[in-house]
Structure 1
Amino acid sequence: MTNLFSVFDPSTSLGLPLNWLSSFLVFMFLPCIFWFIPSRIHFAWSQLMNSLYLEFKTLLNLHSMGSTLMFISLFIFIVFNNFLGLFPYIFTSTSHLSMTLAMSLPLWISFMCYGWINHTQHMFAHLVPQGTPSILMPFMVCIETISNLIRPGTLAVRLAANMIAGHLLLTLLGNQGPNSSNLILTLLISTQVLLLTLESAVAVIQAYVFAILSTLYSSETQ
């Protein structure tokens, strides 16, 4: 098991964690759009960003673009890192808790600080759902407090676990190839192609889930 997970170790031969720089490859791809005549890809990307903006704006109930653009940028950053991890010899930064927790924890802390400082009564009201019997109120406060405290952990673990699970399956199937017959090798390659397609869908879905849940957590503090 140690050798299996060693594929995801963030280490390089130079003694510096340079493979974390793969997270910044997104900045090499995005600016290229503005140097070309708008194409179909540019049009599709603009439509996607507009759809995300409208959805986040509905969830946040805000008239300003600042908050929605922050969550759209978060979605773009995560989805690009998820996709880059599917290419050979590119480090998957979003499969590590040190990366995902570094995104979810500051967001959650900022939401909590903003909510408790500016909307204290509203935050206290969230601890007791409407219609809760008086006897159950102390228990509901404990349950809501615990569920609130584990939010950054669940965000981080959900993204990292989903990204590392598919990579482990691809690694396990790939290790069986050298010792297999031609028929088994054909089945393995077909299965890996299907898994790669599934991982591409998971890369988008997990980025969307992370951004949507962050948006919902933000809307609760307003």
Structure 2
Amino acid sequence: MMTNLFSVFDPMSSIMSLPLNWASTFLGLLFMPALFWMMPSRWSLLWFKVLDTLHKEFKILLAGSPVGSTIIFVTLFSLIVFNNSLGLLPYIFTSTSHLVMTLSLSMPLWVAFMLYGWINHTQHMFAHLVPQGTPGPLMPFMVLIETISNVIRPGTLAVRLAANMIAGHLLLTLLGSTGPSLSLSLVTLLLFSQILLLMLEAAVAVIQSYVFAVLSTLYASEVN
């Protein structure tokens, strides 16, 4: 029974103290091994095409980085899009709607970028704090502003992904909960609107995964 609106995001389902909700995070792995031994289907060929396109795009953004740097961002995109898509299915917990999940993805990456940049490219990192052409009196303020914008990056990445996932699910839940009190004609209209919203959420699941991966790639490219 739903005690409040946000109880649909409550990760409390368990059997013998084993949290079942977070286990859904790894359901995407079940779809991957078959691609290595089965004859490639059209879906797997399409997925490989998407990953290859992302690899080429990230390679352009990470120009000058070591070979293989794009793998982590392509993997990050795959993980997020799997979890976002699985969350659209009934009775499957959406792990990417929780900040504990999204911060666990963004924070280690950001910390690694900062450590790598400040240790190996210290002068370059200092130069980023003061944009070229900044007047002398404004330099302390620009350093403060750039520092704050840099520090909040992992938070904005995490909140953007979680908020978009929560907003769509809440809207679907709110509309669906009004169904029993509506007439037949309004239920038909509600069903049609729910289908449209579900299609929108499917697009948002892919777009937000792409945005998260691209922004992470851009942040990585700034430390080189």
TM-score (norm 1): 0.97
2:171 is matched with 169
Aligned partners of 1:220 and 1:86: how far apart in 2? 34
Aligned partners of 1:184 and 1:194: how far apart in 2? 15
1:83 is matched with 85
1:5 is matched with 6
Aligned partners of 2:41 and 2:106: how far apart in 1? 34
Q: Give the deviation of 1:2 after TM superposition.
A: 6.6
CA deviation vs aligned residue, 1:68-105 (integer Å, no higher than 9, x gap): 01100000000000000000000000000000001000
Number of paired residues? Answer: 222
Q: Give the deviation of 1:54 after TM superposition.
A: 0.4
Q: Give the deviation of 1:16 after TM superposition.
A: 2.8
Q: Structure 2 counterpart of 1:11, which letter?
A: M
CA deviation vs aligned residue, 1:7-58 (integer Å, no higher than 9, x gap): 1000014233221010101110011112222222122111111100000000
2:162 is matched with 160
**1:72 and 2:67 are equivalent in the alignment:** no
- Call closer, same or farther: CA 1:65–1:196 in 2, change over 3 Å: farther
SS for the counterpart of 1:10 is: coil
CA deviation vs aligned residue, 1:105-125 (integer Å, no higher than 9, x gap): 000000000000110000000
SS for the counterpart of 1:25 is: helix
1:122 is matched with 124
1:52 is matched with 54
Which consecutive residues of structure 2, in runs of 5 or more, have no partner in the other structure?
none
Which consecutive residues of structure 1, in runs of 5 or more, have no partner in the other structure?
none
8 A contact 2:124–2:223 mirrored in 1: yes
TM-score (norm 2): 0.96
8 A contact 2:14–2:21 mirrored in 1: no
Q: Give the deviation of 1:65 after TM superposition.
A: 3.9
Q: Percent identity?
A: 68
SS for the counterpart of 1:73 is: helix
Aligned partners of 1:211 and 1:220: how far apart in 2? 15
Q: What's the C-alpha RMSD, in Å, of the aligned pairs? A: 1.3
